[in-house]
A = this chain, B = another copy of it.
Amino acid sequence: MGWKIIETNQLTPKDIDRQGNKLLTGNGYIGYRGTLEEFNKEQKTATIVSGLYDQVGNQWREPVNLPNGCFVQVLYKGEVLHALTSKVLEHTQSLDMQNAIHERETVFETTDGIRIAVHARRFASLARRHLICMEYSVSADRECEVDIETGIDGDVWDLNGPHLRNICAMEKDGLTSICAVTHENGIRVAVSEAITFTNARQFSGEERSADDFKILRKLNQVNIQNGFTFYKFISHCVGLESNNPLEDSRGMCQQAAELGFDGLFAEHAKFWSERWADCDIQIEGDFSAQQALRFSMYHLLSIVPMHTSAASIPARGMSGQMYKGAVFWDTEIFMLPFFTHVFPSMARNLLLYRYHTLDGARRKAKEYGYRGAFYAWESQDTGEDACTLFNVTDVFTNRPMRTYFRDKQVHISADIAYAFWKYYTSTGDVSIWRDGGAEVIFECARFFLSYTYFNPDKHRYEILDVTGPDEYHERVHNNAFTNRLVAHTFEVCLLVAACLQESFTEKYSELMNVLGFEPDLALISEMAQKLYRPDSDSPAAVIPQFDGYLRLENISIKTLLERKLHPHEYLGGGNGLAATTQIIKQADVILALYLFGEKYSSETKSINWEYYESRTEHGSSLSACSYSLVAAQIGKADWAYKYFMKTATIDLDGEGKEYVGTLYIGGTHPAGNGGAWMSAVFGLCGIHVSDEGISVNPRLPAHWTQVKLSMLFRGQRLRFTLNHTSVAIEMVNRAETSLPVSINRQNYVLPQTGALMISIN
C-alpha cells in the first residue's frame, strides 16, 4: 500500500511538466525526468548529471542536460504514435517507488482502427550509476507492422543553453553514441546505447540515420501482432570522472546488454530494497500521508549523490536546470536531518561538499571584504556564487531588479555550521572534523567574526545589514534567526576546536598553523557571549524578526494581496508591497524556534507561532514544515498535520509556482521532501534528538492508528512503534552503552536487547 504513484489522466502540457517532475527516476548521478519515450525537448525531457555545470556567454550557469538516450518512437504507416497528438484510448504512467521503476502503458488507435499498445519500463540503476535500462514492448490487437525508431536525441531542452558543442553522433560495433563537449570548460560527455531483442526475426531489417543532433536506428516492419519487446541500455559518462567518456560509456553499455534487463533490474531492486528496509515509515490509517511520505523519501534517495562529495542536492533536485541546479541552504537545514538519521554516510558526503567548495566560499568572503568562508547562496561545482545581483525581473518595467540574496543572506554559512554540528551530535562521527568539517566551521566562524560589529553604546555585538530567511525584508539589522544561528556558529567553533585538539591533535595544530586561526579564537569566544540575541530579550513575547519589524505596517495578507496591481509582481525587493509591512515570505523566527527548540518555552513558541503564522505568505516551499514542526510542539495537532501534508504533497499535487514570467521555475522540491520527513518524525511522532539524547512525545493525528519507523542515533539503529496508547523503542543491535531516553518527559533507559514499551495517556 502506498508504494505506487499512478497517473491515468488525459495528458495536457501542464500535466507533462508536473509528471516530468513527479515521476523522476534517478540514482544521485543521473536524474531522468518522468517523460514519455517519444517526447523531446518540447515536453521537457531531461537527463541531468550531477555536478556538471556550464555557462554560455552571460547567461545563467546551469546543469548540463545530456543527450536523451531514452528516445523511442513507434511509427505506423510513417506516422509517429505520440501520446499527445495521436488518438489515445488508454494511458497510464506510473512510478513504483519500492523498486524505483517508471512504467508507461498507452493504447493508441490508428486511423484504420488498429489498437497498438506501448508498454515501457525504465530505471536508473542504483547498482551502476551510469546506466538507465529500459524494456520497451509494442503489441497490436491484430495483424500489424510498425517501424520502431530508437536512439539518442542530442537536441535537448535548455534554459540558458545550448551547452553542448562539437556534437558527434556515431555507431560502432552495434552501439550508437553521441559525444560532445561542454561550452565553458570543454568537458567531454558521451551517451551510448545498446539494444537487445527477444526475437530479431520479427522485423525485416535495421537502418541507421544520424544528423547533427540525433542518432537513430530504425527497426523496419516489426510484426507486433503477438507483441515485440526490445531492451535499451543507455550509459552516461562525463569527463569529470572519465578520461575517455565515449569508450567508457560504450563499454558499460556493452556489459549491461550482456547482463540483460532482468539481472540488472534484480540488483537495482535489491539495492532499493535495502534502502527501504532502513528508512521506510509505515503509517496506518492514512493512505495519503503514507504515500506522500514515501514519495518524499523516494525523491531524496533518487537524487542524493553517493559517488562523490563534489556535488550536493540542488534546490530543484535533478529535475532540470531550474534554479541553476544550485545547492541552497535547503540541503543543510531541510534535507540533512533525513540523511543524518537514516543514511549518515550520505549526510557525510553532502556535508563534505561544503568542504569541497570551501575555497569558493573564501573567495566570496574576500570579494566582499571579509575573512573566512561566506558560502555561495547558490552553489554549483566550484563554490562560486551562481546567484546574480539582479535575480528578479520587475513586472512593471521589465527591468532587472536588484535583490540582496547573494550578498546579504549570510546565514548560509551558519546554516552549514549548524548542519555539521547536528550531524556530529546525532552520529557521534568525530572524524568529520578531521576530514574537513573543522576547517569549514573555523572559516564560517571567522567570516562572522569579520561581519560582526560591536555596539559600544549598548555593549554588545550585533549583526547588521542581512537578509534572513524571509526574503521579502532585505537588508535588516539583527535578524533574530541570523543572530541566533551565528551565535551558535561561534559556540560550535569553540567546541569543535576543543574536540579536534583532543581527538586529532596533529590535525588541530596543522589547521591552526595553516589558517592562523588561534588569534581569532579569543574574539570568537567573546562574541559568542556578547552577541545580541533578539530572541532572548523578552521571554514569552513576540520576538521581533529584526530591528524595527514590529513597527512596520500591520496588515493582513488579504489586504496586502488586494494591493497588487499585477498578478506576478514580486512582493519583496526595492519597492515590494510586503517590504514595508509585517507580512513575511516564509518561516523565519519560527524556524529559529524549531532549530533551537530546547531554548524556548512552550509559551514563547505559542505566542510567536500565532503571531507569525497569520503574517506568513508561504511564498517559499521551505515555510510550511517549520510551521508544522512548531505547531506539533505546542499542541496544535490540526495545524501540524495540515502543514505536514502541504509539505509532503508539494510535488505530488504539483501546486508550486511553475513560471515567473516566461522563466520555468518548476521542478521538484527536495527541501519539501526533507521537510515532510522532519514534520512526520520530529513533529507528529515527536521524536526529538538533541545533544543530550532522545526524547519522544508523540502527537499523532487522531486517524493515524500506528506508525513504525526506524532511525539511527550515534550509530545505533532504533525502531519505533508509536500509537495513541504506547511507545515502543527497540535497539536493533546490542549497544555498548545504555541509551537514556525520555518518553513524555519521563526518563527511561533502553534495554540492551528487546524493546522498551511504555504506555502513554
Residues on A lying within 8 angstroms of B by beta carbon are 369, 371, 389-390, 394, 396-397, 399, 401-402, 449-450, 452-457, 462, 464-465, 475, 477, 523, 547, 563, 565, 573-577, 579-580
9 tightest A-B CB contacts, nearest first: A574-B574, A453-B453, A574-B575, A454-B454, A396-B396, A450-B457, A402-B580, A575-B575, A397-B565
B464–A394 touching, CB < 8 Å: no
Min CB distance A183 to B, Å, is 26
Query: Can you sample 24 A-B contacts with CB below 8 Å?
Result: A371-B457, A390-B580, A394-B575, A396-B396, A396-B397, A397-B565, A402-B575, A402-B579, A402-B580, A449-B456, A449-B457, A450-B457, A453-B454, A453-B455, A453-B456, A453-B462, A454-B454, A464-B465, A465-B477, A475-B475, A573-B574, A574-B575, A574-B576, A575-B575
Kindly name the residue among A399, A477, A574, A579 whose own CB sees the greatest number of chain B CB atoms within 10 A. Answer: A574
Least Cβ–Cβ distance between A367 and chain B, in angstroms: 9
A455 to B453, CA, bound (A): 5
Distance between A388 CB and nearest chain B CB, rounded to angstroms: 12
Hey, which chain B residues are within 8 Å of A465, CB to CB?
A: 464-465, 477
Contacts of A456 in B (CB 8 A): 449, 452-454, 523
* A390 CA / B580 CA spacing, docked (Å): 10
Residues on B with C-beta less than 8 A from A389 are: 580
A396 contact set on B, CB distance < 8 A: 396-397
A55 to chain B, nearest CB (A): 20
Q: Roughly how many angstroms separate A398 CA and B369 CA in the complex, as a whole number? A: 38
B575 A397 Cβ-Cβ under 8 A: yes
Q: Which residues of B contact A390 (CB under 8 A)?
A: 580
Q: Kindly name the residue among A452, A457, A580 whose own CB sees the greatest number of chain B CB atoms within 10 A.
A: A457
Residue of B nearest to A401 (CB): B575
Query: Which residues on the B side are within 8 Å of A452 (C-beta)?
Result: 456
Give Cα A716 to B579, complex, Å: 56
List B contacts of A563 (CB < 8 A). Answer: 399
Q: CB within 8 A of A369: which of B547, B573, B579?
A: B547
A5 to chain B, nearest CB (A): 43
B residues within 8 A CB of A449? 456-457
**What residues on B are CB-neighbors of A453 within 8 Å?**
453-456, 462, 464
What B residues does A576 contact at CB under 8 A? 574
A399 touches B475 (CB 8 A): no
A371: chain B residues at CB < 8 Å are 457
What's the number of copies of this chain in the assembled complex? 2
| C-alpha gap A457/B574 in the complex (Å) | 30
Contacts of A523 in B (CB 8 A): 456
Q: How far is the CA of A401 from the CA of B580 in the complex (A)?
A: 10
Q: What residues of B have a CB within 8 angstroms of the CB of A399 in the complex?
A: 563, 565, 575, 577
* Interchain CA distance A449-B576 in the complex, whole Å: 33
Q: In the complex, what residue of chain B is closest to A394 when comparing beta carbons? A: B575
Residues of B within 8 A of A574 (CB): 573-576, 579
Closest to A454 in B: B454
Q: How far is the CA of A574 from the CA of B473 in the complex (A)?
A: 12
New contact pairs (8) apart from A450-B457, A454-B455, A465-B465, CB-CB < 8 Å: A369-B547, A401-B575, A402-B579, A452-B456, A453-B454, A573-B575, A574-B575, A575-B575
Q: Which residue of chain B is the closest to A449 with respect to CB atoms?
A: B457
In the bound complex, how far is the Cα of B462 from the Cα of A450, in angstroms?
13
- When C-beta atoms are compared, the residue in chain B nearest to A551 turns out to be B367
Residue in A394, A397, A477 with the greatest tally of chain B CB atoms within 10 Å? A397
**Please, which residue of chain B has its CB at the minimum distance from the CB of A446?**
B457
Expressed in whole angstroms, the Cα–Cα distance for A671 and B456 within the complex equals 37
Q: Which residue of B lies closest to A527 (CB)?
A: B456
CB-CB nearest in chain B for A372? B457
Taking the closest CB of chain B, its distance from the CB of A511, in whole angstroms, is 20
B residues within 8 A CB of A462? 453
Alpha-carbon gap, A662 to B636, bound state (A):
52
A449-B401 Cα distance, complex, nearest whole Å: 35
In the complex, what's the smallest C-beta–C-beta distance from A582 to chain B, in angstroms? Answer: 14
Query: What distance in Å separates the Cβ of A733 from its nearest Cβ neighbour in chain B?
Result: 48
Q: How far is the CB of A264 from chain B (nearest CB, A)?
A: 54
Question: Which residue of B has the minimal Cβ distance to A450?
Answer: B457
Task: Report the Cα distance A452→B575, complex, angstroms.
Answer: 28
Cα separation A222 to B389 with both chains bound (whole Å): 75
- Return A704 CB to nearest CB of chain B, in Å: 47
- CB contacts (< 8 Å) of A464 on chain B: these are 453, 464-465
* Chain B, Cβ-Cβ closest to A455: B453
Q: How far is the CA of A127 from the CA of B464 in the complex (A)?
A: 55
Bound-state CA distance A454–B453 (Å) is: 6
**What's the Cα separation between A369 and B574 when bound, in Å?**
24
A127 to chain B, nearest CB (A): 50
A673 CA to B565 CA, complexed, in Å? 43
Q: How far is the CA of A369 from the CA of B449 in the complex (A)?
A: 24
How distant is the Cα of A371 from the Cα of B565 in the complex, in angstroms? 41
A455 to B577, CA, bound (A): 34
Closest-by-CB residue of B relative to A462 is B453
Q: Could you tell me the distance in whole angstroms from the C-beta of A548 to the nearest C-beta in chain B? A: 8
Q: CA separation between A576 and B452, bound complex, in Å?
A: 29
Bound CA span A563–B400, Å: 12
Residues of B within 8 A of A565 (CB): 397, 399
CA distance A454 to B574 in the complex (A): 28
Q: Which residues of B contact A455 (CB under 8 A)?
A: 453-454
Complex Cα spacing A245 to B477, Å: 51
* Least CB distance, A364 to chain B, in whole angstroms: 14
Q: A369: which B residues are within 8 A, CB to CB?
A: 547
- In the docked arrangement, what's the CA distance between A361 and B453, Å? 26
Instruction: Give the Cβ gap from A758 to chain B, nearest Cβ, in Å.
Output: 51
Which residues of chain B come closer than 8 Å to A475, judged between CB atoms?
475
For A454, list chain B residues within 8 Å (CB): 453-456
Output the nearest chain B residue to A563 by Cβ-Cβ distance. B399
Complex alpha-carbon distance, A401 and B573, angstroms: 12
Q: Which B residues touch A573, using CB under 8 A?
A: 574-575
Closest-by-CB residue of B relative to A451 is: B457
Q: Which residues of B contact A394 (CB under 8 A)?
A: 575
Q: How far is the CA of A496 from the CA of B31 in the complex (A)?
A: 72
Q: How far is the CA of A548 from the CA of B742 in the complex (A)?
A: 53
A375: min CB distance to chain B, Å? 19
Complexed CA–CA distance, A644 and B226 (Å) = 97
CA A576 – CA B449 in complex, angstroms? 33
- Nearest opposing residue in chain B for A569, CB measure: B397
